[in-house]
Amino acid sequence: MGIRKTSGRGRLYSSVLDTIGDTPVIKINRIAPDHVTVYVKAEAYNPAGSVKDRLALNIIEAAERDGRLKPGQTVVEATSGNTGIGLAMVCAAKGYPLVVTMADSFSIERRKLMRFLGAKVILTPRALKGFGMYAKAKELAEANGWFLARQFETADNAAIHENTTAQEILGDFAGQRLDYFVSGYGTGGTISGVGRVLRKERPETKIILTEPANAALVTSGTAQERSIDGGPASSHPAFEPHPIQGWTPDFIPLVLQETLDNAYYDELIPIPGPQGIAWSKRLAAEEGIFTGISAGATFAVAMKVAEEAPAGSVILAMLPDTGERYLSTPLFEGIAEDMTDEEVALSQSTPTARMAAE
**Paired residues of 226 in beta bridges:** 232
Rounded CA-CA distance 187/122 in Å is 20
State residue 107's pLDDT score.
83
pTM of the model: 0.94
Mean pLDDT of the chain: 95
Name the nearest CA neighbour of 256 among 299, 224, 234. 224
State residue 353's pLDDT score.
67
Q: What is the pLDDT of residues 249-279, one digit of tens each?
A: 999 999 999 999 999 999 999 999 999 999 9
Name the nearest CA neighbour of 252 among 220, 227, 218. 218
State residue 130's pLDDT score.
86
State residue 34's pLDDT score.
97
Does position 71 have pLDDT exceeding 90, yes or no? Answer: yes
Any idea where the domains of the chain sit in the sequence? 16-45+164-330, 52-148
Q: So what's the architecture of 16-45+164-330 in CATH?
A: 3-Layer(aba) Sandwich (3.40)
In this structure, the strands spanning 314-319 and 267-268 are unpaired
- Summarize the confidence of residues 86-108 as an average pLDDT: 94
In this structure, the strands spanning 267-268 and 206-209 are parallel
In this structure, the strands spanning 25-27 and 37-42 are antiparallel
Do 16-45+164-330 and 52-148 agree at the fold level? yes
Q: Does domain 52-148 have CATH number 1.20.1580.10?
A: no
Q: What is the pLDDT of residues 138-155, one digit of tens each?
A: 999 999 999 999 999 999
In this structure, the strands spanning 120-124 and 206-209 are unpaired
State residue 355's pLDDT score.
58
H or E segment at 41? strand 37-42
Q: What is the DSSP string of 130-174?
A: HHHHHHHHHHHHHHHTPEE--TTT-HHHHHHIIIIIHHHHHHHTT
- 96 pLDDT band, cuts 50/70/90, is very high
∠ CA 22-33-320, rounded to 5°: 30
Rounded CA-CA distance 47/87 in Å is 12
- 1 pLDDT band, cuts 50/70/90, is confident
CB 48 within 8 A of CB 194: no
Q: What is the pLDDT of residues 285-309, one digit of tens each?
A: 999 999 999 999 999 999 999 999 9
Does position 5 have pLDDT exceeding 60, yes or no? Answer: yes
Does position 33 have pLDDT exceeding 90, yes or no? Answer: yes
- 129 pLDDT band, cuts 50/70/90, is confident
**Paired residues of 38 in beta bridges:** 315
- Summarize the confidence of residues 85-107 as an average pLDDT: 95
Contacts of 103 (CB under 8 A, 6+ apart): 80, 123, 124, 125, 126, 128, 129, 130, 132, 133
Residues with catalytic roles: 52, 294
Percent of the chain surpassing pLDDT 90: 90
**Paired residues of 143 in beta bridges:** none
Given its phi and psi angles, is residue 311 left (phi above 0), alpha (psi -120 to 50 degrees) or beta?
A: beta
Residue 261, judged by CB atoms within 10 A of its CB (0-12, 13-18, 19+), counts as exposed
Dihedral sign for Cα atoms in the order 87, 89, 95, 100: positive
Q: What is the pLDDT of residues 202-237, one digit of tens each?
A: 999 999 999 999 999 999 999 999 999 999 999 999
